[in-house]
Amino acid sequence: MSEYAVVSPLGRRTSRKKPRAARPETLDAVTIGLLSNHMFDPAFTFGVIEQAIRERFPGVKFVAFERFGDVYGAHEAEVIRDLPEKLARYGCDLVISGNAG
């Protein structure tokens, strides 16, 4: 009689889920960092997004995507490595990433 070992294709869990950060009750007085991969005309798409949010929450502030660099491409590793420091420096409470496509 043969014996077979069975391996799950799902693999083992290597980390536990972390609790989500608390969400703000309003976007008034919140600073939002805009992250771009420069694929979907970010100047246009973020302009439309900013305008729509400002209409509802006039006290919101934005940090332009140009301040962070391209999160996808030749320098993505450095951009992502430096992201926590830049988000803190610019006082970002939230980010918008993946704005089109």
Kindly report the length of the chain: 101
φ and ψ at residue 97, rounded to 5 degrees: -135, 140
Backbone dihedral angles phi then psi of residue 86, each to the nearest 5 degrees:
-70, -40
Q: What's the confidence (pLDDT) of residue 101?
A: 59
- Give the tens place of pLDDT for each residue, 22-75: 889 999 999 999 999 888 888 999 999 999 999 999 999 999 999 998 888 888
User: Domain map of the chain by residue range?
Assistant: 31-97
Which run of H or of E encompasses 84? helix 76-89
